[in-house]
Structure 1
Amino acid sequence: MAPTMIFELEKWQSVLICLLFAVIYVGSLYVWVDDKNKNRDHPDTIKRRFTSVSIICVIIPILLQCFGTSSDSENAHTFLEWLGIRFSRIFLAVILPLFLTMVLFLGPLTLHYVDGVFRIYLEPRYWTNSLKNLIWIRNHIVAPISEEMIYRACMLPLLVPCFGSGMSVFLCPLFFGVAHFHHMIEKVIQGRQALSEAFKQSLFQLCYTTLFGAYSAFLFLRTGHFIAPVVVHAFCNHMGFPAFREVMAHPNTETRHKLIASFVIGLVIWMALLYPITSPFIYSNDIYDL
Structure 2
Amino acid sequence: MDSAEGFLVQPLVRCVVYCIVFIAALYLYGGVDRNTSKSVRQRIVSGSVACGLILTDTLAFTRLPNTSPWRLDSYDLSRIFLRHQHLVLALLLPTLSTGLLFLGPFWHEWRARRFYTLQDYARELWYTSNLIRLRNIVIAPLVEEIIFRGCILFHLQRRFDSCGALCLGSSLLFAVSHFHHVVERIYAGYAVREALLDVLSQVLMTAMFGAYSTLLVLRSGHLAAAFAVHSLCNLMGMPDIAGEMRVAEIHDPRWGRCVYKALLLVGFTSWLFLIGPASTLFGLSDSTLCRLP
TM-score above 0.5: yes
Corresponding residue for residue 278 of structure 2 = 277
In 2, Cα distance between equivalents of 1:199 and 1:117: 39
Report if aligned partners of 2:146, 2:223 keep a CA contact under 8 Å in 1.
Answer: yes
CA–CA separation in structure 2 for the residues paired with 1:215 and 1:118 = 36
1:208 aligns with 2:205: yes
* Shift in Å, 1:124: 2.4
Q: Which of the numbers 110, 123, 126 marks the counterpart of 2:124?
A: 126
How far, CA to CA, are the matches of 1:118 and 1:283 in structure 2? 41
For residues 75 and 17 of structure 2, what CA distance do their matches in structure 1 show?
Answer: 23
Partner of 2:190: 193
**2:146 is the alignment partner of 1:149:** yes
The share of aligned pairs that are identical, in percent, is 30
Q: Deviations over 1:111-140 (max 9, x none)?
A: 222333795887223334444x01101101
- For 1:277 and 1:78, how far apart are their aligned partners in 2? 28
Checking the alignment, whether the CA contact within 8 Å between 2:98 and 2:275 is kept in structure 1 is no
Q: How many residues align?
A: 271
The answer to whether the 8 A contact 2:219-2:285 is kept is no
CA distance in 2, matches of 1:258, 1:281: 31
Whether the aligned pair in 1 keeps the contact of 2:179 and 2:199 (CA below 8 Å) is yes
Cα distance between partner residues in 2 of 1:118 and 1:234: 27
Task: Give the corresponding residue for 1:260.
Answer: 261
In the alignment, which residue of structure 2 is the partner of 1:49?
Answer: 43
Find out whether 1:289 has 2:289 as its counterpart: yes
- Whether contact under 8 Å (1:60, 1:154) holds in the other structure is yes
Structure 2 unaligned blocks of 5 or more:
1-5, 66-73
| Higher relative contact order (CA closer than 8 Å, sequence separation 6+) | 1
Q: For the aligned residues, what is the CA RMSD?
A: 2.7
Aligned equivalents of 2:84 and 2:124: distance in 1? Answer: 31
Cα distance in 1 for residues equivalent to 2:188 and 2:234: 25
What secondary structure does 2:289 align onto?
coil
Residue type matched to 2:289 in 1?
D
- The separation in 2 between residues aligned to 1:68 and 1:247, in whole angstroms, is 48
Instruction: Name stretches of at least 5 consecutive residues in structure 1 with no aligned partner.
Output: 1-8, 72-76
* The one of 179, 182, 185 aligned to 2:180: 182
Judging changes above 3 Å, is the alpha-carbon distance between structure 1 residues 157 and 281 closer, same or farther for their aligned structure 2 residues? farther
Match of 1:218 in 2: 215
> For 1:120 and 1:93, how far apart are their aligned partners in 2?
32
Determine whether 1:27 maps to 2:21. no
